[in-house]
Structure 1
Amino acid sequence: MGFNMLSKASQVFTNADPYRVSDYVNQYVGAHRINLPNKRVAEAKLCHRDFGSLDLCRISYGSSVRVTSSGLNTCYHLQVLLKGSCLWRGYGDEHYFSPGELLLINPDDPADLTYSNDCEKFIVKLPVNVLERVCSDNYWKKPIGGIRFSPRHSLQQLSGFDSLLGLVCGESERVHGPSRLREYFTGIIATKLLELLDSNIEREPYEGDGSPFERVVQFVDDNIKKNISLDQMAAVARMSPRSLYNLFERHACDTPKNYVRKRKLEHIHGFLSDPERKVRSITEVAIDYGFLHLGRFAENYRNAYGELPSDTLRKRLT
């Protein structure tokens, strides 16, 4: 996997007894049991960081192991397979996860996993209340039975999400990272999971006055730092997605998607140009506005303003 995971600075165990590592995981990451079918070997490794409301974990047991859990109760487990393979059993089905695939375990879902000898995972533990808060902030309907995701996903289909995870890992290892920033990134991860992964969330239509185009423009500006979907914009305009395309062609000579991207770039350009605004890194600004694929962001910015974001920032400092 390409993203920058937890480094040796976060190492808790190396060449350790798997059951010692399992005891630690039970305390900080999630309740489970392990069973080693073969002779126990002291080759387990674990890196761990708490980061805001999150727990970040990189783990390898160093041998084939079966991991079972009756349920995680108050948290979700996002597991990205880095090396080896992992057999998952659930919902009367089973699947061999390979590197780059992502397993999402819902609260109260039983887990039955068998790791290969060389299996290594990156795990994000995310509390239920964080996702519920994101739903409230976005006026999304939270299902009565709780938010639930489908279990199997591919990280390659989630454009830029690996970069976000890498950035969070790097921030978690900064000694003096402010708590406000940690919760900020926690909210971004929760939001992206709800926007990018299959779930049972329903997005309520936006209510507002004015013409359909005025309502959509206002909605875009009010939610400029969020991922704005075509369906959301169509609900705001109270028309079909096809009619929404015609609406934007008449009023903006553009597609809805391009319009949203241009407005986001305009906000970022103004942010980077303003000497009164504190910029810690261009990467954080880009992610703040929903650009997870940083190379594509830089290309779009240069096409719009004839220079890279770093050039804009440099000009205001000279």
Structure 2
Amino acid sequence: MGQFGLLRDEDRAFQRLDPLEETTLTGARRTVGGALSDHELAVAGNAPLAMELRTASVGALPLVLLHYGAPVSIQPRKMPGHFLFQVILGGCLRVEGPGGVFVAGEGQAVVLDELAGRRLHWSADSRQLIMRIPRAAVLKAVGTDSGPIRFDRAFALHDADTGTLELVRYIMTQATSPMAGGHGSAILDLLVRHLLLHHSDFRDRHAPLPASIRRAEAYMRLRLSDPMTLPELTGAVQTTARTLSGNFQRFRGVSPMARFRDMRLDAVHEALKSGTAESVTEAATDFGFFHLGRFSSAYKRRFGESPKQTHLAAARPAAPTPCNNAAAG
């Protein structure tokens, strides 16, 4: 059973909560529908169902940890009253809808709304943490005249630009603490603002990046294989170190050089995941990491696994699952 490495401790604490268990379609549909939303449920083939559902809340924000134990297809019915923020802790989720097909895998998340007409496919090993967000909380944050909000399709939790992983970790920790009910709507409001500003088109409408950040990141992308200093970067984008550092802290949550390191780590991750690198050492040194011990530690903090694990996984042929059949009918 998959378990997203960067949330493993929080996941284990959540699993100590008493589960609701069902082995029949009718029972599973009734239990999940009561916690989330009404839906149709079907199991692929003759796989036995072994549903486990755990619930908690942090103030006004309800959470559900759900695992079906079998490959299932879900046809949600209309849910006008809320959004679902779904964090993939294991396996994958495949979403079919009017806008096409996309897949969220382990360590990614999606925000789903207006689910009528969509079909969701869970892999047998898929485990998801689902947070139910009232639509009223989103409308309160954006205003009634902002127009429809479109959330990003599938996004990585561990992207250092956003801090989404840290927020999810905090919410999971609070959900299993004795003070879980003492937050009122504060955590819900924090989550809504975070998703809007980092994972929706509201971000582009209301929080454009300063030109200095755009220029700096464009320069970084051209120099991922080369050494770089902060004075060099500030000279290239024609601003001061104080201004550039302040903008990065405000809009990215990290310093300019930490952002450069993360972009390099992302490039190594892509090279290992795609199989274009012959070895971990080659991928690391191609993007400026020559102290392999420090590189490996930074890589594991960012991606929840060692670079060797990423490289080995890319070399193994993938078994047919909803995760690697995104284009299937």
Normalising by structure 1, what TM-score?
A: 0.60
- Equivalenced residues, count: 226
Out of 243, 247, 250, the residue aligned to residue 255 of structure 1 is: 243
Contact 1:86 1:96 in 2 (8 A): yes
Which residue is 1:238 aligned to? none
The one-letter code matched in structure 2 to 1:258 is G
2:57 and 2:181 in contact (8 A); partners too? no
| Displacement after TM superposition at 1:200 (Å) | 4.4
Say yes or no: does 1:27 pair with 2:34.
Answer: yes
User: What is the percent sequence identity of the aligned residues?
Assistant: 14
The one of 165, 169, 176 equivalent to 2:172 is 169
**TM superposition shift of 1:77:** 1.0
Q: What is the CA distance between 1:154 and its match in structure 2?
A: 2.3
2:122 alignment partner AA:
Y
Q: What whole-Å deviation, never above 9, does each CA across 1:148-175 have from its counterpart, x for those lacking one?
A: 3232222233642122112112212223
Unaligned runs of 5+ in 2: 214-236, 259-329
Tell me the distance in 1 between the aligned counterparts of 2:141 and 2:211. Answer: 16
Give CA deviations for 1:47-106 in whole Å, capped at 9, x if unaligned: 111333322111111111111113321111111222122322123422333212222212
Q: Does structure 2 retain, via aligned residues, the 8 Å contact 1:104–1:151?
A: yes
Deviation of the 1:8 alpha carbon:
2.8
Letter in 1 for 2:141: V
Amino acid at match of 1:104: V
Please say if residues 13 and 21 of structure 1, whose CA atoms lie closer than 8 Å, have aligned partners that are also in contact: no
Alignment of 1:1-318 (within 5 A): 1=4, 2-3=6-7, 4-5=10-11, 7-14=14-21, 16-39=23-46, 41-107=48-114, 109-136=116-143, 142-144=145-147, 146-157=148-159, 159-179=162-182, 181-200=183-202, 203=205, 230-231=209-210, 249=240, 254-255=242-243, 257-258=245-246, 261=249
Cα distance in 2, alignment partners of residues 87 and 25 from structure 1:
18
Deviation at 1:35, TM superposition (A): 0.7
Unaligned runs of 5+ in 1: 205-227, 235-244, 265-289, 297-318
**Counterparts of 1:86 and 1:103 in 2: how far apart (Å)?**
9
Q: Which protein has greater RCO, CA pairs closer than 8 Å, 6+ apart?
A: 2
What SS does the aligned partner of 1:22 have?
helix
- Give the Å deviation of 1:122: 1.4
TM-score normalised by length of structure 2? 0.58
Aligned AA (2:167)? L
Return closer, same or farther for 1:33/1:15 CA change in 2, 3 Å cut-off. Answer: closer
Deviation at 1:40, TM superposition (A): 5.7
Amino acid at match of 1:57: V
In 1, the alpha carbon distance for the partners of 2:89 and 2:28 equals 18
Contact 2:103/2:154, CA 8 A, preserved across alignment: no
- Give secondary structure in 2 for the equivalent of 1:89: strand
* 1:73 alignment partner, SS class: coil
CA apart distance, 1:45: 1.1
Q: Does the 8 Å contact 1:18/1:61 carry over to 2? A: no
Deviation at 1:192, TM superposition (A): 0.7
User: Which letter does structure 1 place at the counterpart of 2:172?
Assistant: C
Superposition deviation, residue 117 in structure 1: 1.6
**Cα displacement string for residues 99-120 of structure 1 (whole angstroms, at most 9, x for unaligned residues):** 1222221235533011222121
Preserved CA contact (<8 Å) 1:18 1:44: no
Q: Is the 8 A contact 2:58 2:180 kept in 1?
A: no
Shift of 1:291: 5.9
